[in-house]
Amino acid sequence: MKFCFTLLSTLSLLILSQTAPAQETNRSISGLVKDIQNEPAPNATIRLLQAADSAVVQTKMAKGNGRFEFTGLNKGTYLLSITAAGMKPYTSSPLALTDQRAAISLPAVILVPNKKGNLQEVTVTAKKPLIEQDIDKTIVNVESMVSASTSNTLEVLEKTPGIIVDANGEISLNGANGVNVLIDGRPTYMSGRDLAAYLRSLPGGMLDKIELMPNPPAKYDANGGAIINIRLKRKRTQGYVGSVNLNYNQGKLARSYNSLNLNYVNRKVNVFGNFSYGRYSDYYDDVSNRSFYTGSTQKNSGVELRTYSTSGSNEWTGRMGMDYTLSPKTTIGMIVNGGGRRRLEEIEYTTNSYTIAGTTDSIGLGTTDNRSTWQPLGVNLNFQHKFDNNGREFTADINYINYHSTGNQLLENEVNLPSGDPISNSDFLYRLPSDIDIYTARADYSHPLKNKASISGGWKSSLVENDNLSEYFALQGNTELPDYGRSNHFIYRENINAAYINGRKDWKRFGMQLGLRVEHTHTNGQQMGNAIVAGSSFSNDYTGLFPTVFLSYKLDSLAKHNLTVNYSRRINRPGYQQLNPFLFFVDQYSFSTGNPTLKPAYGNSLQVGYRYKQLFNAIFNVERITDGFYGAQRVEDNTIITRSENIGTRQMIALLTYTTLNPTKWWNFTFQLAGAQFRTSGQLYSEKLDLKQLTWRTTWMNQFRIGKDWSGELFAAYNAPNINWQRKVQSRYWVNIALQKKVLKGKGNLKVNVEDIFHSLKWQEETKGLKQATMVRTSTNDTQRVGLSFSYSFGKETFARKRRYNDNTADDVKERAQ
């Protein structure tokens, strides 16, 4: 608490200090870039060159208001070179900085569009690097990844440095769990398997870039260990443009990801849309061996569970939006999202129970027929007003999101003696309808101050209503008999109100950004009860302060060498289903249940980084999580019950390095190497948990240019053994290759991709902390695949559109919906 007050005092002094006269006379060159409609050109690239030899001194991107500034300059004569997509290049006359003229402020530079015409008349030679580093985030340019168009979004994330996706679809970034995933700055409000299924439904061809934020600024919700923001493709050019991506890939089962992106801009109106349709299929071959003991070493029984499942789903998504310019400074917009998924999963499992002597005691057989539908709907209304061209602006938006799902699970189970004589059998049916309604509203204000300083602040409120019904029926022939003892109706409501303030100041070489966010949470859960099960309820109120600190220092005048330090405190709230206290059947020897007493986890993270240009980046990270919760497992009567518990403390010390090099004109690569120590300590039921693990991970992305129209990609990754709370995961590796050919005068691309060449992407894990029991699990699925895709760009465009609006009001609640 003292730290938060100290931070707030520092932030106030920083703001007040801007009223004092500047004491420094840094040499600088600044200006403003606009298009012929007198609108800012935020995507323009400005290079500062030495006039004598045209050597590049610094490179900047124009801000959202079109402004740029080069600081920390020596005396000399310079040139400005400005480029932007669809615009003619601009080169300034010589600009001289002297003792008498320490600062140059240029009038607006007007960029003239290239000649109007079809896309085939415009040739773009520049290619974005795969990885770019910013002060508070890492940017992955997906369009530079050849294999993206033959993959879905979850598979693209698996190839992204620092990201790990485990066997259950849980995503971690730089070792941090509880990652909050945003789409275009807006949350998905899903977690676990539901989030994984949604990301699989998004074709990789729809993605523009991925932003990785291990320690997000105060503007973002404090929930989650880190933020992954997935940006979809969206053109910002006058005229109409579009692209289509068609894909088919084959493993043991077939998949297809297809997408269409459209954009139309005509002066005051911008209409855009993204649409996709896909067929996803997979299989899981899972073997679990469980041993049970009477003492520390005396084994008394065991169970081998073999599960084989196949699943298939037809999926579609749609996103349409419009921006309308009311005046040169005011814009309103609307975005509508929709989609659907129809899924069928068929599971067969066999259990062999063994006695103390190792002989077969009984054999269990079971099948599950699982049919489900899922329908999302979202509406966003947004507003943006610019008070001037210096960055002073007000934005606001509201969101409504609904997830409606249905599920029917038909389970048939029997247990027989080794001779085949029956012991027992049971058939039952689950009906699982669910509705989640999410309402959010937000307002933000940004205000620039003197001497390269700024302040911003905002407010946000969210309300979530989650209604889950689980109806259980025992089957006798064609008769459905309701079993109220196993049925459940769970309603959960959550309201979060938040406010934040953020301040930034830049000096000649030193930069500082301080933020403070306060969030108040009120929750209420009700198990409605029925004729047999008594109703129950719980509620919770808590308030938290979440400071963030970002410091940067340029070690040289050209900003080639940079140091950064950042700190953040965050919260990880339980997912909605993790609080549902009812027991759900998985198989004969496995059940799962929620925990209404679950507390939120809190984490503190400190990062120290060094960056050399965009070529090398090293990050030292220390993180500590208290009251961390996980799907803990315990044994009761030889049955594994999974229940989320506040296990204790998780500590991580990690060193991450990224290297990007161009050894030749035709070859560039990005190499990541990370090492870490994880420690989990706490009390799990009656067992003391103290697990330590040294681990490391590496990825190597190679990209090749073969002549004018050909390019290739080779990706390899290795994960050493590591621990994830209660689970110890064994090492694994995989290798992918891809090849691309430009066709149709550069407007089309043909790509072929081979995933997991050696079929080595398997999961092997051991569950620790079980009382008088051990469990080892191995899982294999349909990862070895060959894919073929075709993409084509079409339309007519002239010059860049001005607006850059981030509709990220709803940013953590959707992440936790299940």
The model's pLDDT over 744-770, given as tens digits with 9 standing for 90+, comes to: 888 888 999 999 999 998 889 888 777
Helix, strand, coil percentages for the chain (3-state, nearest 5) = 5, 65, 30
What proportion of the chain, given as a percentage, has pLDDT over 70? 87
Answer whether residue 232 shows pLDDT above 50.
yes
Question: Residue 759 contacts by C-beta under 8 Å, 6 or more apart in sequence?
Answer: 780, 783, 784
Distance separating alpha carbons of residues 213 and 806, to the nearest angstrom: 16
| pLDDT computed for residue 22 by the predictor | 39
Structure tokens at 88: 């003619």
3-state class of 8 per DSSP?
A: helix
**H runs (alpha helix) in 254-316:** none
How many CB atoms sit inside 10 A of residue 80's CB? 22
Average pLDDT, integer, range 792-798:
74
| pLDDT computed for residue 802 by the predictor | 41
Residue showing tokens 């440095």:
161
Q: What's the whole-model pTM score?
A: 0.77
Structure tokens at 758: 């050696």
Q: What is the DSSP string of 510-536?
A: EEEEEEEEEEEEEEEEEE---SSSPPE
How many CB atoms sit inside 10 A of residue 62's CB? 22
| pLDDT computed for residue 237 by the predictor | 57
Max mean pLDDT among 65-74, 236-245, 272-281, 795-804 falls in: 272-281
Beta strands in 328-392 (DSSP E): 330-354, 360-386
Backbone torsions φ then ψ of 631, nearest 5 degrees: -70, 80
Kindly report the average pLDDT of the chain as a whole number.
82
The model's pLDDT over 35-62, given as tens digits with 9 standing for 90+, comes to: 776 677 767 889 888 888 777 888 888 8
Answer whether residue 798 shows pLDDT above 70.
no
| pLDDT computed for residue 234 by the predictor | 65
The model's pLDDT over 121-159, given as tens digits with 9 standing for 90+, comes to: 333 344 566 777 666 677 888 877 777 766 777 778 877
Q: How confident is the model at residue 415 (pLDDT cuts 50, 70, 90)?
A: confident
How many CB atoms sit inside 10 A of residue 170's CB? 19
Q: How confident is the model at residue 96 (pLDDT cuts 50, 70, 90)?
A: confident
| pLDDT computed for residue 680 by the predictor | 85
Q: What is the DSSP string of 612-680?
A: ETTTEEEEEEEEEEEEEEEEEEEEETTEEEEEEEEEEEEEEEEEEEEEEEEEETTEEEEEEEEEEEEEE
> Are the CB atoms for 729 and 742 separated by under 8 Å?
no
